[in-house]
Amino acid sequence: MWQTIFEKMVSRLIQSGELRVTYPDGRTRTFGPGGTLTAAIHIQDKALFKGLCTHPDLALGEAYMDERLTIEDNDIEGLIKLVLRNAYTSVMPPWVQFADRTRFALGRWIQRNTPELARSNVSHHYDLSNDFYRLFLDEDMQYSCAYFTDPAMSLEEAQIAKKTHIAQKLHIEPGMRVLDIGCGWGGMAITLARDYGARVTGVTLSSEQLALARERAAEQGLSDVIDFRLIDYREINEPFDRIVSVGMLEHVGLPHYAEYFDKVGDLLTPDGIALIHTIGRSGPPMAESEWITKYIFPGGYVPSLSELAPAIEKSGLWNTDLEVLRLHYAMTLRHWLQRFDTNIDKVRETHDDRFIRMWRYYLTVCFLAFEEQKQAVFQFQLTHRRDAVPITRDYLYHDHGPRRQAAE
Closest residue by Cα to residue 147 from 125, 121, 165: 165
Q: Residue 166: which residues within 8 A CB-CB, separation 6 or more? A: 188, 244, 246, 275, 277, 379
The distance in angstroms from the start CA to the end CA of the chain is: 71
The residue annotated as part of the active site, out of 53, 145, 183, 366, is: 366
Tell me, yes or no, if 366 is annotated catalytic: yes
Taken in order 142, 148, 151, 154, the sign of the CA dihedral is negative
Pairing of strands 17-22, 38-43: parallel
- In terms of residues, how long is the chain? 408
How many angstroms separate the Cα of 311 from the Cα of each of 73, 262, 307? 46, 8, 8
Backbone angles phi, psi at 279, to 5 degrees: -65, 140
Contact between 145 and 329 (Cβ < 8 Å): yes
HSE-up of 49 (CA within 13 Å, CB side)? 16
Give the span between the Cα atoms of 156 and 139, in whole angstroms. Answer: 7
Cα dist from 385 to 245, 271, 281, 395, whole Å: 20, 7, 27, 18
Name the maximum alpha-carbon separation found in the chain: 71
Q: Which H helix or E strand runs over 213?
A: helix 207-219
Residues identified as active-site: 366
